[in-house]
Amino acid sequence: MSTSRLRDFSRIVFFTGAGMSAESGVPTYRGAGGIWKEYDYRRYACQEAFVRDPEAVWEFHNYRRGLVARCAPNLGHQIVARSGRRSARVTVVTQNIDGLHALAGSSEILELHGNLWRVRCDTCGVKQQDGHVVREVLRCDGCGGWWRPDIVWFGDYLHEPTLDAAQAAIAACDLFVSIGTSAVVYPAAYLPEYARKAGARRVEINPDETPASELYELHLRGPATEMLTRLADGDAELLA
Ligand code: APR
């Protein structure tokens, strides 16, 4: 059975989770060193906490910004970005908020859970995109209210147009590569189902098995950088 390279596919979707950025030094949420082991998201990462104690939410948010600001895209991000220049069409559907896919040069990126570096004021209906820095000004200059991190917290709805675009890209792809997600948070965790229905080749890159593993035809059990290198070099048994 001949193997195919990434460039042999015309429409690729890379579906990424926190494991994609683990080798850049960004902590994952669950598993060893997971951030939710150290911080209770009910105190630091939900609308209720933001209303109750915005200072604590901003302290946690700026802590994460400070940490991620020191992280750079890894070889995996670069392979994904490079394949976007070689293959007919590549879409990155990411649960990550760290901005590392964009830094690596990927162009078509759908951020399902928002962006660590963007804030919004729900009173004035405005957004601001910051650089990769902690934020000093925490109150909106228009109304004096708190800037809200523009990320999807637990209990929030996803941005419908972004989710629709992700579903459409996956429904049209011929290769779906999931990288570094525990597949436990919905509706993102349902997206591989669209790839199965589309008859796309489905690859799961994760050192561990996940509840979604049975949906995939090929499981590359290792770190993202090593497994993406194998995939890009055609060393993985990607059925033709
Ligand atoms: N390469 C590939 N995968 C890795 C690596 C690595 N180097 N290191 C860890 N992983 C895998 C873990 O085995 C795990 O399955 O990455 C996954 C990370 O899982 P989570 O921490 O749960 O991250 P994610 O799936 O992105 O979480 C989804 O949950 O808390 C919310 O909004 C948050 O977007 C996040 C969502």
The model's confidence at residue 174, banded by pLDDT at 50, 70 and 90, is very high
Q: Which of 28, 35, 94, 191 to mutate to test the pocket of ligand 1 (most atoms within 8 A of CB)?
A: 28
112, 188 contact by CB (below 8 A):
yes
Question: Same structural domain for residues 135 and 226?
Answer: no
Question: Same structural domain for residues 66 and 177?
Answer: no
Question: Same structural domain for residues 44 and 86?
Answer: no
User: Which residue range(s) make up the domain with 220?
Assistant: 2-25+73-113+158-238
Alpha carbon of 1 to ligand 1 centroid (Å): 32
For residue 239, pLDDT over 60 is answered with: no
Q: CA torsion sign, 180 to 185 to 186 to 190?
A: positive
Mean pLDDT across the stretch 55-73?
98
For residue 19, pLDDT over 70 is answered with: yes
Look up the CATH number of the domain holding residue 179. Answer: 3.40.50.1220
Q: What is the pLDDT of residues 117-140, one digit of tens each?
A: 999 999 999 999 999 999 999 999
Residue 125 located in a structural domain = yes
Q: Please, what is the angle between helix 224-232 and helix 75-86, to 10°?
A: 30
Q: How far apart are CA 178 and CA 93, in angstroms?
A: 9
Question: Same structural domain for residues 106 and 221?
Answer: yes
Q: What is the pLDDT of residues 96-118, one digit of tens each?
A: 999 999 999 999 999 999 999 99
Burial class (CB in 10 A: 0-12, 13-18, 19+), 211: exposed
Tell me 7's DSSP state: G
Asked if residue 185 has its Cβ within 6 Å of ligand 1, the reply is yes
Residue 60 located in a structural domain = yes
Residue 212 located in a structural domain = yes
Question: Same structural domain for residues 77 and 108?
Answer: yes
What pTM was computed for the model? Answer: 0.96
Q: Tell me, what's the pLDDT at 81?
A: 96
Residue 223 located in a structural domain = yes
Question: Same structural domain for residues 179 and 220?
Answer: yes
Mean pLDDT across the stretch 139-143?
96
* Residue in 25, 180, 21 with CA at minimum distance from that of residue 106: 21
Residue 30 located in a structural domain = no
Q: Which of 206, 213, 227 to mutate to test the pocket of ligand 1 (most atoms within 8 A of CB)?
A: 206
Average pLDDT, the chain: 94
- Backbone phi, then psi, for 118, in 5-degree steps? -115, 145
Residue 141: partners with Cβ closer than 8 Å, 6 or more residues away:
none
Question: Same structural domain for residues 65 and 82?
Answer: no
Q: Tell me, what's the pLDDT at 240?
A: 46
Residue 232 located in a structural domain = yes
The model's confidence at residue 217, banded by pLDDT at 50, 70 and 90, is very high
Sheet holding 201-205, edge to edge: 109-111, 89-94, 11-16, 175-179, 201-205, 218-220
- Backbone phi, then psi, for 140, in 5-degree steps? -65, 130
Number of domains in the chain: 2
Q: How far apart are CA 203 and CA 83, in angstroms?
A: 16
Mean pLDDT across the stretch 23-40?
94
